[in-house]
Structure 1
């Protein structure tokens, strides 16, 4: 029985993660669990790269990502269900931030989509494969 479900989505994919979000909501609702939805923004990498951006770029990007995440959840799940969701925007490497968010939220289930597999990751996308491999909690992969 889950108390907290974390759903990882990529807002840059538009509505491609709608089935992932719907499945996560369904699993959370079955157990009366809290639903958290996370999206991850890439970081700048090398510190010198940040010099090419305006000082408030990260804050604006984070706010825009949050707004898009809220809009996606409301569009897919409805306003009433969206009101109970915790929306999280993280910055860094996708699989690492998903795992960190799951740990800090106390999630006991992660729901993620299997996207864009290439030859080396034939069955799962690279982020889904890494989350499955490194997670301490159960991971539900939506195809």
Structure 2
């Protein structure tokens, strides 16, 4: 059986991506796992929840196109066979889209990076914390 590893990537956070590379490569070597890279383009209501409702937000198709291109560049940094890299670009709220993608694959493991905590998130970033709480498979959180 081929394992499926889901790796959510925030294409705007290159430092976080660098931290997961060795972990993903090591886990993917076990059972020659497929690695599903996912980036999520937040929709307008998500921006509004962050207090950015009045900001000039580019067209969603333009955002998605840029995100797909950046995700391909990021995935190329991972030393994995190309036939084991699958790229996904979706629209929605990050935590919900990550959880739904993990469920639909179904993923055997989610490897997610997390920001250093602050007073609002205590221990994990809010997206990572939601994934840990609600995922139906193991989650490896990288800091």
Counterpart of 2:44 in 1: which secondary structure?
coil
Q: What is the RMSD computed on CA atoms of the aligned residues?
A: 2.3
TM-score w.r.t. length of structure 2: 0.82
Equivalenced residues, count: 135
Determine the structure 2 residue equivalent to 1:77. Answer: 78
Task: Report the Cα distance in structure 2 between the residues aligned to 1:13 and 1:53, rounded to whole angstroms.
Answer: 19
Determine the structure 1 residue equivalent to 2:128. Answer: 128
Determine the structure 1 residue equivalent to 2:49. Answer: none
Counterpart of 2:38 in 1: which secondary structure?
strand
Determine the structure 2 residue equivalent to 1:31. Answer: 31
Determine the structure 2 residue equivalent to 1:114. Answer: 114
Mark the CA change 1:81 to 1:22 in structure 2 (over 3 Å): closer, same or farther: farther
Mark the CA change 1:70 to 1:15 in structure 2 (over 3 Å): closer, same or farther: farther
Determine the structure 2 residue equivalent to 1:14. Answer: 14
How far apart are 1:122 and its partner, in Å? Answer: 2.3
Determine the structure 2 residue equivalent to 1:45. Answer: 45
Runs (5+) with no aligned partner, structure 1: none
Query: Is 1:60 paired with 2:62?
Result: yes
